[in-house]
Amino acid sequence: MSFFRNMSIKSKFLTAIAALFVVCLAFAVLVLLAMKDISGMEERVALEGRLLNSIGNVEARHLQWNIGVANMLLDKSDKEYKIVTDFTTCAWASWIKSPAYAQAVAFWPSIKDLAETIEAPHALMHTSAKDIIAHRTNGELDKAYEVFTKQTQPSLQKLQAGLASVRKTIEEAQTADEAEFARYLGEFTIKVGIFAAFLVVMMVVLVLFLTKVLLAPMAKISAYSEHCLSSDAAKLEVLPKNRTGVIATQPDEENTHVQAKESCPGFQGPSGPDCSFRR
């Protein structure tokens, strides 16, 4: 503290500014790190939304596929239906090969196990359509309907159950991440508010400090001037041995010499008449 007091005004000012700059810089680094975390959370929540949309698309596409197979069974005409029988080219297979699936597995490894349990019923569902088409072409509608009820429908239900499990896993993660994101964002907002208030206080303290430091010498000069102008301070102490003392005492000696000349013979000294006074 004494070291700071002995510093010049310029040094004190630069020290205060440097301290404030360091605090602001540290806060800026913390804000950047927090923004990085917030960005990561936002990306994760957005990814979960995209995955849910993908799962919903796969479910819708397979439901439409199933409706197409059912319409083909009910239609006794010679109309040809375009039914996907290769399970490696359907919407689910496309999603399994997409980067979205790789991201999903990276976040939730359990999805890979769920996807593997879906593969068998999914493949059976599509290959059963081949038998349905063959029986229908041969006019064997009863056999085609039997394949549909014993293979296609159960396989579709297993596929839907597996997709529902994948969707539930992602939805639970999304709910937890949204809650965490809201909590983190709330805490970050509070911290920013606290620092903003702290920064305002620091600025006020800095202004008051600089005002005190800059005005203190002026106040001392003003007080000293007033003190010098007062009646008591006007009585300067004159030392007879210095140059000022000699000059200041000379008028008194001259005055004494004049009085002595006027009163001689018989200059009245402390012990009576004294005419021995000489310059």
Q: What is the mean pLDDT of each run of 10 residues along the chain (279 residues)?
A: 64 76 82 83 84 87 90 78 84 83 82 85 91 88 92 91 86 88 86 83 77 68 69 49 47 48 48 48
The sign of the CA dihedral 209, 215, 221, 227 is negative
- Can you give the pLDDT at residue 2? 60
Check residue 104 and give its pLDDT.
80
Distance CA 196, CA 194 (A): 5
pTM for the structure as a whole:
0.58
Q: How high is the pLDDT of residue 227?
A: 67
Query: Does residue 170 contact residue 48 with C-beta atoms inside 8 Å?
Result: yes
Amino acid at 49: G
The pLDDT value recorded for residue 14 is: 77
Which pLDDT score, from 0 to 100, does residue 185 have? 85
